[in-house]
Amino acid sequence: MKVAVVDESAARASIIVEGLAELAGCELFVLTDRRGLLSEIEKIAPDIVLIDLGNPSRDVLEEYFVVSRALARPIAMFVDESDDDAIAASIDAGVSAYVVDGLSANRIRPLLDLAVRRFNAFARLQTDLAEAKGKLAERDTVDRAKRILMDSKKVTEPEAYGELRRKAMSSNKRIFEIAEAVVTAHELMGGAE
């Protein structure tokens, strides 16, 4: 069974492919480039095509499947077909599947389930990464606010931090919000970076 994974994110594609590699009898192809996509698909003649919902090439791909003269052309899987839940889950996860007619459900199902799990896992990774980045950015702002206070009020680092914390507690805000206000004010007053 030939499976093509179309994804502009090479990172996500590799995570999905790694998951699908567990399945026996699957030959996997990864397509990340918009250019030449259709000719690649034509060459591969996949039984299943997985493409992320956020891929702008979806309309192009669907159009190709409609007009393709190939006998075994993949068509989109839809709600009213037997495997409602699997398809709904895949849409929720952000992946759409195109499958050639006649491929039995018990061959598609495990593959789709795995793809969905991998998509969800990737989404979680991204959320974690975004959170981690957010925290780093917050810490950076707090550091800058501390330096501003240390310079302008000639206080030590723990004292500067103490002031930020006191202000946060008394105004019922987070330390980061106070720090952000300090940095913004400093910039407005023409303070150097």
**Residues near other proteins (CB under 8 A):** 34, 53-60, 62-64, 66, 75-76, 78-81, 87-88, 91-92, 96
Considering the complex, state which of residue 113 and residue 159 has its C-beta at the smaller distance from other proteins: 113
Least distance from C-beta 162 to other proteins, angstroms? 38
* Residue 159 CB-density burial (10 A; 0-12 exposed, 13-18 middle, 19+ buried): middle
CA distance 37 to 57: 9
Considering the complex, state which of residue 34 and residue 166 has its C-beta at the smaller distance from other proteins: 34
CA distance 98 to 3: 10
Residue among 93, 117, 91 nearest 23 (CA) = 117
| CA-atom Rg of the chain in angstroms | 26
Least distance from C-beta 157 to other proteins, angstroms? 37
Considering the complex, state which of residue 18 and residue 63 has its C-beta at the smaller distance from other proteins: 63
Considering the complex, state which of residue 58 and residue 109 has its C-beta at the smaller distance from other proteins: 58
Considering the complex, state which of residue 91 and residue 150 has its C-beta at the smaller distance from other proteins: 91
Least distance from C-beta 78 to other proteins, angstroms? 5
- For 99, phi then psi, to 5°, come to -135, 140
Least distance from C-beta 53 to other proteins, angstroms? 5
Residue 29: C-alpha distances to residues 62, 79, 122, 135 (Å): 18, 26, 19, 37
Least distance from C-beta 85 to other proteins, angstroms? 11
